[in-house]
Structure 1
Amino acid sequence: MKRAQQYQAASIAVLAGWLTDHPDEETRWRLIAEFLEEYRHEPSSARMSLLAMEPPSTGDTRWDVFLAALAEHLAARDGAGAPSWTETRRLRRFWFPFNTPAARVDAFVHAPASFRRRGVFIHPQELEVA
Structure 2
Amino acid sequence: MTIVRLAELLVGAEESLRWRLIAEFLEEYRWEPAQLRPGLLAAEPATTGDDHWDVFLAALAEHLAARDARDGPAWAATRSLRRFWFPFNGRAARVDAIVNAPAAFRRRGVFVARQELEVA
Pick the TM interval, shorter chain. over 0.9
Are 1:106 and 2:96 counterparts? yes
Mapped partners of 1:21, 1:48: distance in 2: 27
Amino acid at match of 1:82: G
Q: Give the count of matched residue pairs.
A: 120
Which position in structure 1 is the counterpart of 2:51?
61
Deviations 1:69-128 (A, max 9, x none): 000000000010010000110000000000000000010011000000000000000001
Give aligned-pair identity as a percent.
68
* 4+ residue runs over 2 A deviation: none
Are 1:41 and 2:34 counterparts? no
* Partner of residue 119 from structure 1, selected from 106, 109, 115: 109
Report the Cα offset of residue 55 of structure 1: 0.4
**TM-score under structure 1 length normalisation:** 0.91
Mapped partners of 2:28, 2:12: distance in 1: 19
**TM-score under structure 2 length normalisation:** 0.98
Mapped partners of 2:15, 2:87: distance in 1: 9
Report the Cα offset of residue 129 of structure 1: 1.5
Amino acid at match of 2:30: R
Amino acid at match of 1:100: G
Mapped partners of 2:12, 2:90: distance in 1: 26
Q: CA RMSD in A?
A: 0.6
Within 5 Å, which residues of 2 pair with 1:11-90?
11-22=2-13, 24-90=14-80
- Unaligned 5+ segments in structure 2 are none
